[in-house]
């Protein structure tokens, strides 16, 4: 295929829409094809395939995708798949919102929830944290773990434990690790607190 300007083709359909093939080199490389449209308010829509293999879609306004109107409940109506490499969803100045009757986040290996503030639940009837070993806190970073109305708490060695018999948690030796106490124990536990197990 010739890469010179003589191979470039522009099909212009009025002032608001054009189709281009074999366009000049841009950020993503030469353009194999692009569809370009602009409305009277100068909102642009563009989709293109570049010679580098990059395919792009760009909308100056909102982009809405609807599917599955004639599907049945339980059908998979929308699939996004990356066969190799990562998948990234970014909202630079806003929230990433996912809504559904039921939501599953499943990872074959690791699942990370990270943020300056991480909240699980709001007015949920139940919040269950399940696992063979549950650990809250970090030996170096954690300064305080608060358990409102936590009454079945005991301290052993340098750890604070929540007794599983009351909390419904399974863990090591019938308990789940609640937090680590750093070398400055006074920052976590006042004198006389949690010196022995509290049975109720």
Could you tell me how many helices (H) and strands (E) the chain has, helices first?
1, 8
Q: What is the CA radius of gyration of the chain?
A: 28
- pLDDT one-digit tens code per residue, 132-179: 888 877 777 777 777 776 666 666 666 666 655 444 444 444 444 444
How many domains does the chain contain in total?
A: 2
Residue 25 in any domain: the answer is yes
Bridge partners, 191 (sequence order):
none
Q: Does the pLDDT value for residue 198 go beyond 80?
A: no
Residue 34 in any domain: the answer is yes
Residue 184 in any domain: the answer is yes
- 82 or 190: whose pLDDT is higher? 82
- pLDDT one-digit tens code per residue, 91-115: 999 999 999 999 999 999 999 999 9
Residue 67 in any domain: the answer is no
Domain boundary residue, one of 20, 40, 59: 59
pLDDT at position 113, please?
A: 92
pLDDT band of 121, cuts 50, 70, 90: confident
pLDDT at position 194, please?
A: 45
pLDDT at position 28, please?
A: 66
Residue 119 in any domain: the answer is no
Residue 196 in any domain: the answer is yes
Domain boundary residue, one of 15, 30, 59: 59
H or E element in which residue 164 lies: helix 164-167
pLDDT at position 142, please?
A: 78
Residue 35 in any domain: the answer is yes
pLDDT at position 75, please?
A: 95
Instruction: Name the residue with tokens 């789940």.
Output: 176
pLDDT at position 150, please?
A: 60
Bridge partners, 47 (sequence order):
35, 57
Domain boundary residue, one of 18, 34, 59: 59
Within 13 Å and on the Cβ side, how many CA atoms surround 33?
3
pLDDT band of 26, cuts 50, 70, 90: low
Residue 80 in any domain: the answer is no
Domain of residue 30 covers 5-59
């Amino acid at each position: 295929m010739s890469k010179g300007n003589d191979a470039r083709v522009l099909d212009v359909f009025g002032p608001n829409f054009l189709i281009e093939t074999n366009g000049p080199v841009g950020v993503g490389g030469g353009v194999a094809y692009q569809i370009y449209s602009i409305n009277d308010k100068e909102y642009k829509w563009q989709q293109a395939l570049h010679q580098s293999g990059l395919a792009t879609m760009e909308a100056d306004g909102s982009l809405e995708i609807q599917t599955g109107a004639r599907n049945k409940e339980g059908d998979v109506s929308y699939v996004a798949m990356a066969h190799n490499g990562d998948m990234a969803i970014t909202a630079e100045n806003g929230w990433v919102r996912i809504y559904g009757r039921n939501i599953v986040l499943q990872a074959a290996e690791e699942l990370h929830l990270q943020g300056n503030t991480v909240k699980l639940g709001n007015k949920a009837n139940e919040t269950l944290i399940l696992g063979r070993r549950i650990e809250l806190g970090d030996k170096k970073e954690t300064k305080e773990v608060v358990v409102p109305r936590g009454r079945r708490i005991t301290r052993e060695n340098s750890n604070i434990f929540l007794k599983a018999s009351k909390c419904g948690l399974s863990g090591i030796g019938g308990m789940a690790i609640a937090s680590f106490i750093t070398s400055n124990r006074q920052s976590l536990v006042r004198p006389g607190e949690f010196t022995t197990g509290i049975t109720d």
